[in-house]
Structure 1
Amino acid sequence: DYRLTYYTPDYETKDTDILAAFRVTPQPGVPPEEAGAAVAAESSTGTWTTVWTDGLTSLDRYKGRCYHIEPVPGEESQFIAYVAYPLDLFEEGSVTNMFTSIVGNVFGFKALRALRLEDLRIPTAYVKTFQGPPHGIQVERDKLNKYGRPLLGCTIKPKLGLSAKNYGRAVYECLRGGLDFTKDDENVNSQPFMRWRDRFLFCAEAIYKSQAETGEIKGHYLNA
């Protein structure tokens, strides 16, 4: 019974808590408080059974808490469960870690018939752990040795389907034709028709060749 540990209606949220609002549809016979508590448990410190290692940590400090639950107006057997997560549950500056917990395996939890994340409040304390890009436009200008004008670039098209060799050819033609840089489309990763390493090698060849012919520094942004 998750309600005994993870349903805490008297809890007062903190400014540093990550707050999530889930629309939950419990399985028949599962009380909404149990469903909300199950979401809080499975997305934080909960386990489907009692384990002796629970005594080796402070679950009360790290657990998620379902602190409020209310029915969805006009919808049968649907509820909004509000869950608070302590900041220490998440790695600093990691969107991946945060979403793995909050929208990860909890969506396959068998106590629920349906679940949807409706809203999320990320506190300033967590936002500040994200350092942003390692460098900005000035560093890019320094690397390309381009000042006093906008940088001109493009995305290689078609974004999918080119072989690595033809992709590199397109990069060369763009850079040789006057562009400062080219870039991968976000859909391009390491697909069977163009592996990442092959694309890297042909793009590097295109950059060096265009630099030698134009006397300018060129660049290509690879999607890793």
Structure 2
Amino acid sequence: MDRFSVTYRLFADTQGEAHDFAAAIALENTVEIPRDVVPSGYIEDVVLGKVESVEAETDRTWRARISYHIDAAGEELPQLLNVMFGNASILKGVKLIEFSFNEDVRSLFPGPRFGADGVRKVIGKKSGGFVCPVIKPQGSTVEDLAELCYQTALAGADIIKEDHGLSNQKNALFKDRIPVCAEAVEKANAERKAKGDTSQAMYLPNIGGHGDEVEELAFYAKEHGAQGLLLIPGLFGFDAMQRLARNDSFGLPIMAHPSFAGPFVLSEDTGYSHGCYLGDLMRLAGADISVFPNYGGRFGFNKEQCLEIVDACKSGTGIGKAILPSPGGGMSIDRLPEMYNTYGDDCVYLVGGSLLRYGAKIGDAIREMSAALNSAS
């Protein structure tokens, strides 16, 4: 009987303890009853998680692979995540580091609608890294934000991403700013086209509002000229993103932001590995671009962790299409050549607050970003 598997890093003194720990996790994530009262037959044979292997990783950690059946997860993403790492996520000494999905899961959860290749086609950029300024700060007026959108798009930016802190504050309410900013990007795109540029800038507003408004606001953004959107799954939920990604009527690229993700990845012995959460789970939930803090920035991710995220975004064994990693977090233009040498063409390069130092000449900063990436290629 075909099953999908999840690999956990367990902290235990001996292999026997690790095996017992894995067996407890298999119970906890599925039937959640004592092993001696698990009914024989279908529940024991199919629904109950099964420990497939427990192997030494270090002198204090073990890799435990547990398999699950799709019948335990059903057909909804929340329950799939619940089976993979529900109650087990609140046990000490267990970290989810990898999963391998079978066709049962892949048929139910196809992943990103666009992926890296699809986003490239939408923008019309055949090769090269993507230049992505971040529109900020919170507290700006609609007019100021729109001017930033226009100037950066006109100068050749590929993706105009709103800062995740722009939500629905009174200075620039979501429904007030989206039509104005989208029109500014559309104007810049028209001017670029008139000069022979075959690519276009994508404007990605950040979804704000309440959880039950996500779909309404996403469609509002689309109807008023946005070419995609930014969403924070740590706040609104992975299922909210997945539902949008699978909605044929919406049909726009989605960029996922890692705000609120820290507790899920930063602990050594709990949560998820960096690649699993910011790469694999984002693909599973339908993100086309996954933002993460770059090494050397203000958030403390190291290079190995960042490369793990990139590998998960691009791996041929992941769910659905490969997606675009997007490193940021305190980056500046002079870091771009180094970043390009690390991440290459299929990457969205974020630069935010440091661009504001250019003031009215922010277009020069965008041209410098493009030149920096081109010189490194």
TM range (shorter): 0.5 to 0.7
Conservation of the 8 A alpha-carbon contact between 2:132 and 2:158 = no
SS in 1 for 2:178: helix
Q: 2:148 aligns with which of 147, 161, 170?
A: 170
- Of the two, which has the highest radius of gyration? 1
* Matching of residue 43 in structure 1 with residue 41 in structure 2: no
In structure 2, C-alpha distance between the alignment counterparts of 1:31 and 1:137, rounded to whole Å? 47
* Matching of residue 80 in structure 1 with residue 63 in structure 2: yes
Conservation of the 8 A alpha-carbon contact between 2:135 and 2:145 = no
Conservation of the 8 A alpha-carbon contact between 2:47 and 2:69 = yes
Shift of 1:133: 1.2
Q: Which amino acid aligns with 2:4?
A: I
* Matching of residue 200 in structure 1 with residue 178 in structure 2: yes
1:152-191 matched pairs, under 5 angstroms: 154-157=131-134, 161=138, 163=140, 165=142, 166-175=144-153, 177=154, 179=156, 182-184=159-161, 187=164, 190=167
In structure 2, C-alpha distance between the alignment counterparts of 1:218 and 1:119, rounded to whole Å? 35
Shift of 1:50: 11
Q: Which amino acid aligns with 1:123?
A: N
Shift of 1:39: 0.9
Which has a greater percent of helix?
2
**Offset from partner CA, 1:157-187 (integer Å, 9 cap, x none):** 3555462522222112234x36486421684
**Structure 2 stretches of 5 or more lacking a match?**
195-199, 205-228, 232-377
Conservation of the 8 A alpha-carbon contact between 1:151 and 1:180 = no
**Offset from partner CA, 1:106-137 (integer Å, 9 cap, x none):** 1213xxx4112243222244335415416946
Q: 1:133 aligns with which of 109, 113, 116?
A: 113
TM-score (norm 2): 0.38
Conservation of the 8 A alpha-carbon contact between 1:164 and 1:198 = no
Conservation of the 8 A alpha-carbon contact between 1:168 and 1:203 = yes
Shift of 1:74: 2.5
1:20-169 matched pairs, under 5 angstroms: 20-25=6-11, 31-47=17-33, 58-60=42-44, 61-70=46-55, 72=57, 74-75=59-60, 78-90=61-73, 94=77, 98-109=80-91, 113-128=92-107, 129-130=109-110, 132-133=112-113, 136=118, 140=122, 154-157=131-134, 161=138, 163=140, 165=142, 166-169=144-147
Instruction: Report percent identity of matched pairs.
Output: 16
Q: Which amino acid aligns with 1:174?
A: T
Q: 2:230 maps to which residue?
A: 223
**Offset from partner CA, 1:190-216 (integer Å, 9 cap, x none):** 375866445424323424655787897
In structure 1, C-alpha distance between the alignment counterparts of 2:185 and 2:71, rounded to whole Å? 45
Q: How many residues align?
A: 193
RMSD of aligned residue pairs (Cα, Å) = 4.7
**Structure 1 stretches of 5 or more lacking a match?**
1-13
Shift of 1:21: 2.3
SS in 2 for 1:74: coil
In structure 1, C-alpha distance between the alignment counterparts of 2:172 and 2:81, rounded to whole Å? 30
Q: Which amino acid aligns with 1:44?
A: T
Shift of 1:140: 3.5
Q: 2:343 maps to which residue?
A: none
Shift of 1:64: 1.3
Q: 1:17 maps to which residue?
A: 3
Q: 1:7 maps to which residue?
A: none
Q: Which amino acid aligns with 1:133?
A: R
TM-score (norm 1): 0.58
Shift of 1:88: 3.1
Q: Which amino acid aligns with 2:161?
A: D
SS in 1 for 2:134: coil
Shift of 1:17: 1.7
Shift of 1:34: 3.5
Q: 1:8 maps to which residue?
A: none
SS in 2 for 1:163: coil
Shift of 1:85: 0.8
